[in-house]
Amino acid sequence: MEKIIVRGGRQLHGTVKVEGAKNAVLPVIAASIIASEGKSIIHDVPALADVYTINQVLTHMHVDVQYENNTVTVDATNDLLTEAPFEYVRKMRASVLVLGPLLARYGHAKVALPGGCAIGSRPIDLHLKGFEAMGADVHVGNGFVEVTTNGRLKGAKIYLDMPSVGATENIMMAAALASGRTTIENAAKEPEIVDLANYLNKMGAKIIGAGTETIKVDGVRKLRGAEHTIIPDRIEAGTFMVAAAITGGNVLIEKAEIDHLRSLVSKMEEMGVRFIEEPNGLRVIGPKKLKATDIKTLPHPGFPTDMQSQMMALMLNATGTSVITETVFENRFMHVEEFRRMNAKLKIEGRSVIVEGPVNLQGAEVAATDLRAGAALILAGLVADGYTRVTSLQHIDRGYVNITDKFAGLGADIERVREIPVQNISMKRVEVQ
Ligand SMILES: CC(=O)N[C@H]1[C@@H](OP(=O)(O)OP(=O)(O)OC[C@H]2O[C@@H](n3ccc(=O)[nH]c3=O)[C@H](O)[C@@H]2O)O[C@H](CO)[C@@H](O)[C@@H]1O
Ligand SMILES: C=C(OP(=O)(O)O)C(=O)O
């Protein structure tokens, strides 16, 4: 079994570079299959497990995908298969993002239903309502969702009950080839939505308003491949911001995009952390003593749910009572039990967690319950007494490239090891005797 072992007590110093954003690259690679002409060349693609999964989904559909030196080249001009089986969707929910592009280009798409996951039930009803509003038939059965349309989709006015990131992306992609105008109201405003719209527009789409709550898409007949560079990962940047702060260190986070990080920066400033904007990134200086604060996760530009568990680690080291309220996902507190194993004082009250700090965190064996929880446990390990052993690394590998090396480069005492299971060790002893 692989583990990340951290020994707490080192201040972090130096420079770390942020990768391209996972949550931007997945929809962009999915969107590349709309192009019936030309190749797409996508730069700054991080070497993440999720990127390999989306590339496998495309390869399964007969798309020609090449991945070398952080660049993905996609040629989708073949006749494509319009199905994505459970094998892929099970590994990564974002596989559902091929629905919109396939429906738009072929009038058909069939994808395994994603089901729930550790952070919540995560339905896709809003994606499907959007497709239906554009004239598609939706059929759910035998663990699959199948969407079909006779001829082109028709532009429609679509109001999202909540600003879902995935639904906004899927509908925007489907609308790109629909006849007439589609208006998405109460659309998600995340920077990753803007990145996807920019890429689609380079492909020949006509999208305005991405990044605001109303997106207008005027459908075109055809899209062609385009060259695009993925935006920096604001959640990876945020994770290193917390690492600098929690250890009282001084770290330059190269390529961190301050405009994408306002809510996090403002909360960390309240806690006493200092930020300096530099030409190539953001410098983060941790204080001697952190102050408690409260956060409530919300759709962008509110506080990102993907930074909630890392902030919990920071609050455990702050003086006073902090309150975290999670409004985006109904079950994103699985890491609370793991933090408790490290001596954390945490109380769950409905959708809030009350954090009493500062505590003397103690190293323990803990499991990453999702990718951000895994990162948060490493952050706690950076300041805990003794050794913290983090398991279930497959979650962390979905969203972080070389996290161990990056922390080690900043001076952390951390390594990734493959441990021989206990039963194998005792069998070996028996053999020797
Ligand atoms: C690959 C990717 O980009 N993942 C991000 C994306 O996930 P994802 O796109 O899945 O998140 P959504 O914005 O769609 O989900 C937000 C909330 O809406 C609910 N919902 C969503 C769709 C739907 O049809 N019906 C419905 O009820 C979800 O259950 C959740 O409670 O945005 C989340 C919220 O910022 C982030 O945490 C994820 O990291
Ligand atoms: C929840 C996340 O991702 P996904 O939607 O891919 O599960 C995340 O990036 O924190």
Give tens-digit pLDDT for 42-52: 999 999 999 99
Give the pLDDT band of residue 433 (cuts 50, 70, 90). very low
Q: Which of 93, 158, 165 to mutate to test the pocket of ligand 1 (most atoms within 8 A of CB)?
A: 165
Q: Which residues of 85-238 form beta strands (DSSP E)? A: 108-112, 137-141, 144-148, 157-159, 181-185, 206-208, 214-218, 227-229
What pLDDT score was predicted for residue 159? 98
pLDDT tens for residues 341-385? 999 999 999 999 999 999 999 999 999 999 999 999 999 999 999
Give residue limits of the domains in the chain. 2-19+232-418, 22-229
Q: How far is the CA of 271 from the centre of ligand 2 (A)?
A: 26
Q: Which atom of ligand 1 is nearest to the CA of 23?
A: 3
Ligand 1 site-directed mutation target among 93, 171, 193, 328, most atoms within 8 Å of CB = 328
Q: Kindly report the CATH class assigned to 2-19+232-418.
A: alpha beta
Torsion of Cα atoms, 155 then 158 then 164 then 168, to 10°: 20
The CATH classification of domain 22-229, taken from the options 3.40.50.720, 3.90.1150.10, 2.40.50.140, 3.65.10.10: 3.65.10.10
In the reported structure, the alpha carbon of residue 232 is separated from the centroid of ligand 2 by a whole-number distance in angstroms of: 16
Lowest mean pLDDT among 72-86, 346-360, 418-432: 418-432
Domain 2-19+232-418 and domain 22-229, same fold? Reply is yes
Distance CA 98, CA 114 (A): 13
Q: What is the pTM of this model?
A: 0.96
In the numeric block, which tokens belong to residue 324?
């975290």
Residues contacting residue 68 through CB under 8 Å, at least 6 positions apart: none
Ligand 2, CB within 6 Å, residue ranges: 23, 93-94, 119, 306, 371-372, 399
ipTM associated with this complex: 0.99
For residue 422, the model assigns a pLDDT of 63
Distance from the alpha carbon of residue 389 to the mean position of ligand 2, in angstroms: 23
Give me the active site residues, please: 117
Burial of 154 (0-12, 13-18, 19+ CB in 10 A): middle
**Longest CA–CA separation in the chain, Å:** 78
Q: How many angstroms is it from 164 CA to the middle of ligand 1? A: 5
Q: Which atom belonging to ligand 2 lies closest to the Cα atom of 306? A: 10
Q: Tell me which amino acid residue 17 is.
A: K
Cα angle, residue 408 at apex, residues 405 and 413 outer, rounded to 5°: 130
Residue 328 per-residue DSSP state = S
| 289 membership: H or E segment, kind and range | none
- In angstroms, the CA 174 to CA 34 distance is 9
Give strand pairing partners of 410: none
Q: Which residue has the tokens 């319950």?
A: 369
Query: Nearest Cα to 286, choosing from 240, 237, 249, 325?
Result: 249
Going by CA atoms, what residue is nearest to atom 2 of ligand 2? 306
Buried b (16+ CB within 10 A) or exposed e, 363-381: bbebbbbbbbbbbbbbbbb
Q: Look at the block and give the residue holding tokens 């991945």.
A: 67
Which amino acid, residue 203? M
126 a known binding residue?
yes
> In 3-state terms, what secondary structure has residue 339?
helix
Give tens-digit pLDDT for 127-136: 999 999 999 9
Q: How far apart are CA 262 and CA 266, in angstroms?
A: 6
